[in-house]
Amino acid sequence: KEELDNIKIAIYIFYKQYTFYNRFITKSEFKIAYLTCHYHKEGFILAAKRNNLLVYELQHGIIAKQDIFYNYPKELKLFRHKALFPDKILVFGSYWASVLLNGNCFDFNQIDVLGNYLTSNNNLLESEKQLFKTKFSYILITTQTKMSNHYVTYIRFLSEYIKDNGLNYKIIVKNHHSEDVESYNEVYKFENVICSKSEVYSLFKIAEKHISIYSTTLYDALIYDLENYTLNSKGFEDYVSQIEDSGIAQKIETNQFPFKNPSINNKINIDDYYSEINYSSLFKF
């Protein structure tokens, strides 16, 4: 019943999207549309295609071979020109392009490297600067939507481990902007845990270690040369294994402190993940 209800809702949303945008686009003179996340926007894409409006997707986060919206069986190649995908996708770097090529929903000519177009603020909020003027080292944990139970469990363990072993660490938790922060209320009461609202890039600058499960922040952290860890939480082992295999982060278990493994010294070419911005790719019609 739940699956049938989801299908009904999806069909309804598709119909509403298509009828609204079709009316709108037919009365406009737009030539191109940019969006993030093509999935769940198929009604808009159909309206665009029927009105000769080009649709470009801008990479918004991690693209992994486990993502069902970017990876299809090879048989799709026979009719993907009829599918409701964007005309082109613009990615952060060549690594992401290679993942997409193996996903069978885009061909080589539909993928361009735009570079790291996301803006970043490297300054802490004024209200938080005093929080970090201490002699502690910091472990930054960046969370993800609908996964608070995994993060809360690990933060609880990590907080107790630091306290029981007399370690000079504090934990900074940076919540995903679309997440319910209240689900973390339990751990925010711990004296060695800080809830930060500063931009994640400013937190990268002061952290010694960074932990997430499979967030894009694991790739972002490469730019700041800090210890990077992927948390092997139940249900996400495939994502974690891919991240570990790529060499960008060291895998840790949910009952493990993030001790650096001195034998891990992978040389990562950051440009493969985040190239210099190339604005011309935005306007290749």
Query: pLDDT tens digits, residue range 198-207?
Result: 999 999 999 9
Backbone angles phi, psi at 108, to 5 degrees: -55, -40
Query: Percent of the chain having pLDDT more than 70?
Result: 98
- What is the per-residue pLDDT across 47-92, written as a single tens digit (0 to 9) for each? 999 999 999 999 998 898 888 899 999 999 999 989 999 999 999 9
**Rounded Cα–Cα distance for residues 75 and 84 (Å):** 16
Query: 127: Cβ–Cβ under 8 A, 6 or more apart, which residues?
Result: none
Q: Give dist(CA 184, CA 153) in Å, integer.
A: 10
Token reading at 22: 């079709």
- For the segment 186-205, the average pLDDT, to the nearest whole number, is 95
Kindly report which listed range (19-23, 60-64, 152-156) carries the lowest average pLDDT score. Answer: 60-64
Q: How far apart are CA 272 and CA 252, in angstroms?
A: 25
DSSP 3-state assignment of 170? strand
- Structural contact between residues 171 and 139, judged by C-beta atoms closer than 8 angstroms: yes
Better pLDDT: 260 or 162: 162
Compute φ and ψ for 171, nearest 5 degrees. -105, 125
Output the average pLDDT for the chain.
92
pLDDT tier for residue 222 given thresholds of 50, 70 and 90: confident
pLDDT, residue 269, reads: 86
Crossing angle between the packed helical segments 2-26 and 42-50, to the nearest 10 degrees? 30
